Structure 1
């Protein structure tokens, strides 16, 4: 995994933790902010896609 991929994964992981944590924190206080949920889900999808692409590229380069 190169430096750029590691940086992207770190950003998406931090975003996922922050936005989903904030959403559930506010929801437990009776306030529902759907924007935080949607942003957390988008960040989670970005994390999954970036991780999958990184693994695919790593496996492709080791097989050659």
Structure 2
């Protein structure tokens, strides 16, 4: 559940940068959004592996 909380925190933190990129065309904010999305991908994959491991342990 800790990793899921990290996903929510990361999404909340990148929201302002996404707004800057899509509304104002700020390219630096776009770079930060891309990095955050990569971090989300890694976290999501870790969560998937954890869920699969717990499911198969039953």
Bin for the TM-score computed over the shorter chain: 0.5 to 0.7
Greater fraction helix: 2
Unaligned runs of at least 5 residues, structure 2: none
Normalization by structure 1: what TM-score?
Answer: 0.64
Corresponding residue number in structure 2 for 1:51: 47
Unaligned runs of at least 5 residues, structure 1: 1-5
Considering only aligned residues, what root-mean-square deviation do their CA atoms show, in Å? 1.8
Normalization by structure 2: what TM-score?
Answer: 0.68
Number of aligned positions between the proteins: 56
